[in-house]
Amino acid sequence: MNHFVLPAADADGLRASACRLAAAAERVESSGHAVSLAAARSVPGWSGAAALAMAARAREVDLAARSKAVGLREVAAATVAYAGRAVATREQVASLNGRLTAARDTASDEQRRVDAMPPEQRVMFAGRDPMAALRVLEASLRREHAETIERLTRDGTVLARAIVATDPLRSLPEWLAGGLALGHGLVASRTLAVRGWSFGKWLSYARRAGLARDGSRAADPLLARAWQVRATESLDAFRHGAVRPGAPLGGLRTLLGRVFLPSSVILGAVDAVTGAGHQGGRGVATRVLGAAGAAGAVGVLTLSNPVGLTVAGGAVLAYGAWSLGNLAWDNRKAVGSFLHRATGAVGSVVGKLVFW
Amino acid sequence: MRIDVDPGLLDATARGLDSGAAGLVEAADQVTWALTVLAASCGHEEAAQAARRAAVRWRGGLDLAGEAARGLGEAVEAAHEAYLGVDGAQAAAISGHSR
């Protein structure tokens, strides 16, 4: 038996995330309060049904924000408790390793002393086997180690439950959560496809503009300008999203379109550092693609030369596709449950229609 | 009928609502960061998976709350602009009548 392995939990990372969760809780609460306060201040100078409806809606936002802040604080508290347990466990395991090393050294020394004795003296130690005593001690330390790790695992389960308890969708059955995950995946796929389409159009138009401007045979400044205008429009759609005027949920879609690249920078940087918690090859791929996606998103927002934009845009799309694949893989069981239930329901309806 | 609204109040309300909306959207980023780091640091598969799933859902929930507040801000701003138009028309009508 080698030394006991220290637990994988990183207390510093856990404490940092608890601090950020507590700060986010403050932010959520103060923002909800700001919304409610702004509406309340306005209402005395602006009466009528619209003012009352606005005040009621603002109060709803405030109440939802307060409830979310409570949930975030609970997760932060559970995370701090788990980080404390992780530190204590590391210290206990280090202490066990120290005791193990000392016991091994003592047993080896004693064994060497016994081996060096003449046979007539060795008879006096016949009933004492240093290595057997060491094995007994090792078994006892192993039990102690298992109990220590068990306590940490129990606290990890408590943390997981605290996160699930504050999850807005905790009360949903697996198949319904799978349906929502499928919906989220389809929306993300569509976003990625639309961005990929805009990026492809930009590549095509930029190439045609270059040919019309610099082509030795058919240089045409007017045509070059027309292609350039289309290329600029496509690049703008890739950077900020394109929402038709009057489209349903236009405000939300415009907002989500604008946060696509900035959020790729933040999420890509986080994935580059943490690997999104995945181990092995998946963790390495997540780190590499996260770093590429973050750098690519910065490049798309800041660069203007075509080669740089091509590389940066490709990196952003590759990171988006990888994240989408991770989402699908992590939710495959719930989505499978949803599809199974949905096909069962459709089959039942079809069966009734056919055999009616 | 004369409409009498304090335009400064409407403008301040719109700005207050917009600032609250921006705060909620920024908080969504903070929560996503924190839960992703938590998933990577906890060394416990069940907790890590719960944190990764919750990060996606929290982000969606806070983004929607931010969008609701932003929608209110836009509505108030539209009301503010409409009032300025009505106020101008009232002033013109009153001065025309007094002449």
Q: Bigger pLDDT: B12 or A254?
A: B12
- Are B31 and A72 an interchain contact pair (Cβ–Cβ within 8 Å)? yes
Whether residue A91 has pLDDT greater than 90 = yes
Chain B contact for A167, CB < 8 A? yes
Give the Cα separation of A311 and A288 in Å (integer): 15
Nearest residue in A to B11, CA atom:
A42
Q: Which residues of A touch B74 (CB under 8 A)?
A: 251
Chain A contact for B49, CB < 8 A? yes
For residue A46, what pLDDT band results from cuts at 50, 70 and 90? low
Give the Cα separation of B74 and B82 in Å (integer): 12
Q: Note the pLDDT tens digit of each residue in B64-92.
A: 777 777 887 787 778 777 777 776 776 67
- Are A32 and B20 an interchain contact pair (Cβ–Cβ within 8 Å)? yes
Residues 6 or more apart whose Cβ sits within 8 Å of residue A41: B9, B12, B13, B16
Give the Cα separation of A182 and A330 in Å (integer): 11
The whole-number average pLDDT for the span A92-101 is 92
| Best CA proximity match to A24, nearest among A70, A58, A60, A61 | A70
Angle between helix axes A250-274 and B7-41 (nearest 10 degrees) is 30
| Best CA proximity match to A269, nearest among B92, B7, B33 | B33
For CA atoms A25, B40, A330, A260, give the dihedral sign: positive
Chain A contact for B7, CB < 8 A? no
The whole-number average pLDDT for the span A99-114 is 88
Q: Note the pLDDT tens digit of each residue in A140-199.
A: 999 999 999 999 999 998 899 888 877 655 545 667 767 777 777 777 777 788 888 888
| Best CA proximity match to A290, nearest among A311, A269, A308 | A269
What integer pLDDT is reported at residue A238 of this predicted model? Answer: 83
Q: By CB neighbour count within 10 A (0-12 exposed, 13-18 middle, 19+ buried), where does A328 fall?
A: middle
CA distances from A313 to A191, A268, A286 (A): 14, 14, 18
For residue B21, what pLDDT band results from cuts at 50, 70 and 90? confident
Q: Bigger pLDDT: B11 or A178?
A: B11
Q: Which residues of A touch B26 (CB under 8 A)?
A: 27
Q: Which residues of B touch A12 (CB under 8 A)?
A: 41
What integer pLDDT is reported at residue B80 of this predicted model? Answer: 74
Task: Say if CB A290 and CB A319 are below 8 A apart.
Answer: yes
Residue B4's CB is within 10 A of a number of other CB atoms, namely 10
What integer pLDDT is reported at residue A244 of this predicted model? Answer: 67
Q: What is the DSSP letter of A297?
A: H
Chain B contact for A184, CB < 8 A? yes
What integer pLDDT is reported at residue B25 of this predicted model? Answer: 83
Angle between helix axes B45-98 and A11-42 (nearest 10 degrees) is 20
Locate tokens 């039990």: which residue?
A143
- Are A184 and B60 an interchain contact pair (Cβ–Cβ within 8 Å)? yes
Q: What is the DSSP letter of A125?
A: G
The whole-number average pLDDT for the span A259-269 is 80
What's the helix, strand, coil split of chain A in %, to 5?
Answer: 85, 0, 15
For CA atoms A322, A327, A330, A332, give the dihedral sign: negative
Give the Cα separation of B14 and A39 in Å (integer): 9
CA distances from A251 to A63, A237, A274, A343 (A): 23, 16, 33, 35
- Are A263 and B43 an interchain contact pair (Cβ–Cβ within 8 Å)? no
Nearest residue in B to A286, CA atom:
B40
Q: What is the mean pLDDT of chain A?
A: 82
Chain A contact for B56, CB < 8 A? yes
What integer pLDDT is reported at residue A79 of this predicted model? Answer: 94
Q: Which residues of A119-133 are buried (b: 16+ CB within 10 A; e: fewer)?
A: eeeeeeeeeeebeee
For residue B1, what pLDDT band results from cuts at 50, 70 and 90? very low
Query: Looking at this predicted complex, what is its ipTM?
Result: 0.77
Return the top range by mean pLDDT from A119-123, A192-196, A273-277: A192-196
Overall size of chain A counted in residues? 356
Chain A contact for B50, CB < 8 A? yes
- Are A35 and B72 an interchain contact pair (Cβ–Cβ within 8 Å)? yes
- Give this prediction's pTM: 0.56
For residue A245, what pLDDT band results from cuts at 50, 70 and 90? low
Residue A50's CB is within 10 A of a number of other CB atoms, namely 12
What percent of chain B is modeled with pLDDT above 70? 86
Q: Bigger pLDDT: A137 or B78?
A: A137
Which DSSP string corresponds to B26-43? HHHHHHHHHHHHHHHHS-
Of the listed ranges A39-48, A165-174, A286-295, the least confidently predicted one is: A165-174
Nearest residue in B to A28, CA atom:
B24
What integer pLDDT is reported at residue A166 of this predicted model? Answer: 73
- Are B65 and A64 an interchain contact pair (Cβ–Cβ within 8 Å)? yes
- Are B36 and A267 an interchain contact pair (Cβ–Cβ within 8 Å)? yes
